[in-house]
Amino acid sequence: MKIFERIKNDRTIKTYIVKADESLGALGFTEHSFAHVNRVSQFAVNLLEKLGYDAHTCELCAIASYLHDIGNIVNRSEHAQSGALMAFNILERFGLEPDEIADIIQAIGNHDESTANCVSPIAAALILSDKSDVRRSRVRNTDISTFDIHDRVNYSVESSTLKLNEQEKTVTLSLQIDTSITPIMDYFEIFLQRMQLCRKAADYLGLRFVLVINHQILL
């Protein structure tokens, strides 16, 4: 993944990721910096690799996943679309072919649940990985007494794993939630749309999406 490594080490791209995360921090959103994009990129690539996709497709998926949130530097609203346009300009200077850039910006432009569509394997893998990144370490607020519902839900997640079972053709998001911090129903209140999108993404890849919370299968 030579191009992907160049992209990860590019100073301009690093700056955009940092500044986009700073914007979200000012708005009270959870962490969207390197921990998030690296985790999303790693799982999305691993998923496609295990499903038998070629190395070239996997590298394009790695790039799309790494760049998917840079549009937040412009505005949280429609950040998928602005991020896709930013990625278009960035990727041209890396010498990618038009069809490669098209695959990447197509996935970025379709990852946010407000406008998302499972239009390609890369987009589906990005959606699954992005929407399943729920964890305590993404919460910026350190004052529990001032938590809103998003802070409470993310902070309540003690562990989160996303696993592919190739034999059963399932992809399972398993969460361990501290219900003394937030009831499970709060998770569904803010994340139901995301979980429905994960199910569509899994379907696109020929898989069944399974949600397990505190050892109970819920979807």
d(CA 113, CA 125): 14
pLDDT at 99: 97
pTM: 0.96
Q: What's the CA dihedral at 31, 37, 40, 41 to 10 degrees?
A: -170
pLDDT at 123: 98
pLDDT averages per 10-residue partition of the chain, 219 residues: 93 98 95 97 97 98 98 97 97 95 98 94 98 95 90 95 96 97 93 95 98 93
pLDDT at 121: 98
Domains and CATH numbers, the chain: 2-217 (1.10.3210.10)
pLDDT at 142: 87
Q: Strands (DSSP E) along 38-191, which ranges?
A: 157-165, 170-177
Give the closest residue to 31 by CA, choosing from 40, 39, 22, 42.
Answer: 22
pLDDT at 219: 81
Residue 110 in contact with residue 125, Cβ under 8 Å?
no
Give the closest residue to 148 by CA, choosing from 189, 197, 111, 177.
Answer: 189
Task: List all residues 6 or more positions away from 30 whose beta carbon is below 8 Å from its beta carbon.
Answer: 24, 138, 139, 140, 150, 151, 154
Query: Quick one: tokens of 76?
Result: 């949280």
Query: Cα–Cα distances in Å, from 42 out to 24, 163, 193?
Result: 22, 12, 23
Strand partners, 177: 157
Task: List all residues 6 or more positions away from 40 whose beta carbon is below 8 Å from its beta carbon.
Answer: 65, 66, 68, 126, 129, 130, 133
